[in-house]
Amino acid sequence: MENGLRKPSETTGQVISCKAAITWGPGEPFVIEEVKVDPPQKMEVRIKILFTSICHTDLSAWQGENEAQRAYPRILGHEASGIVESVGEGVMDIKKGDHVVPIFNGECGDCPYCKCEKTNMCERAGVNPFMTVMVNDGKSRFSCKEGKPIFHFLNTSTFCEYTVVESACVVKIDPDASLKTMTLLSCGVSTGVGAAWNIANVKAGSTVAIFGLGAVGLAVAEGARARGATKIIGVDINPNKFIKGRAMGITDTINPRDFEKPVHECIREMTGGGVDYSFECAGISEVLREAFLSTHEGWGLTVILGIHTSPKMLPLHPMELFTGRVIIATVFGGFKGKTQLPNFAKECMQGVVNLEEFITHELPFEKINEAFQLLIDGKSVRCLLHL
């Protein structure tokens, strides 16, 4: 043992017994149990998780909002950082002891998508909420003490002291970087900042509206601020989020409950016709429509980041697109994980994005149910769990 961690040489090629937070059914409290984690197979990596945080996607999956994606028992979690314990056959770019972040939207580097500069999708390791097992053999690397398999989640399953992921879903980061803050690059911050930088390409002097001031929305604000946007409007029904928002780039705030008229009308009045860019981070179709209508005719761009579990279709009429407004969606902020995320991590180390501001709470892993309640109550941006 070194610094509380097992030496990789002690566990390489062996089944590891460790603690995990298992969800056994929709909305049921997480149960901390001992599980068995198999060694990594070909092109897989086993990681010792040191920090993990809770994203709204974890909350939605835990609550079982999308019935088709339900699978139990399951180990959720997809925002984390850790140290590589061992690698499987064929893994060349990652080795034991590397500091890494797992990512839910991988990059194999070989498929047509990975070779295309226009997308960050991946044929082999792209995000797939229906995937519950590993690609190699269609089996899980997790099991209960009794031997019953436990399902994987979003290529990562980070609510466990050790996890096994595809090598395409592992990003090596600078060993001098804080693993604590690098955790946030697994999902929320990369998604929001990337939407502002890679998808919208926010310009200096532009105007922005952000609908939903959770971690992703605040990350959009950070990205827009870094790019020099002069007016960044934050829209949320929870006024408590405005304080944190103003500390992270929001210049103006709107609580829809304070106005009788639609939000888009308020924004058009504030900006002389509408914003240059709007970002929908709520996953609600009615909010998406307001975000779309809040942009300026002729050039307004709306970026969808919210996860829409409702079966409702896009709340727009095709003729509304003839006004010159554009709408687009993004996964992981357009970042190609393995090739582009390391550079983004370096920018964060240099202070371009203040990662510390996103961490509002820290708890031991055993208090994961308390951490979820903080998110439900709208009290946390990111609660970091220490494993």
The predicted pLDDT at position 309 comes to 81
Structure tokens at 269: 């009045």
**306 φ, ψ to 5°?**
-70, 145
Each residue's pLDDT, cut to its tens digit, for the chain (387 residues) gives 545 555 656 888 999 999 999 999 999 999 999 999 999 999 999 999 999 999 999 999 999 888 888 999 999 999 999 999 999 999 999 999 999 999 999 999 999 999 999 999 999 999 999 999 999 999 999 999 889 999 999 999 999 999 999 999 999 999 999 999 999 999 999 999 999 999 999 999 999 999 999 999 999 999 999 999 999 999 999 999 999 999 999 999 999 999 999 999 999 999 999 999 999 999 999 999 999 999 999 999 999 999 888 788 999 999 999 999 999 999 999 999 999 999 999 999 999 999 999 999 999 999 999 999 999 999 999 999 999
The predicted pLDDT at position 1 comes to 53
**165 φ, ψ to 5°?**
-135, 160
The predicted pLDDT at position 65 comes to 86
CA distance 232 to 253: 8
Q: Peptide bond preceding 129: is omega within 30 degrees of 0, i.e. cis?
A: no
Strand order in the sheet with 207-211: 252-254, 231-235, 207-211, 277-280, 301-304, 326-329
The predicted pLDDT at position 67 comes to 82
Per DSSP, the three-state class of 121 is coil
* Contact partners, residue 114, CB within 8 Å, separation at least 6: 107, 108, 122, 123, 336
* Contact partners, residue 70, CB within 8 Å, separation at least 6: 26, 64
Contact criterion met (CB below 8 Å) for 234 and 254: yes
Q: How many helices (H) and strands (E) does the chain have?
A: 10, 17
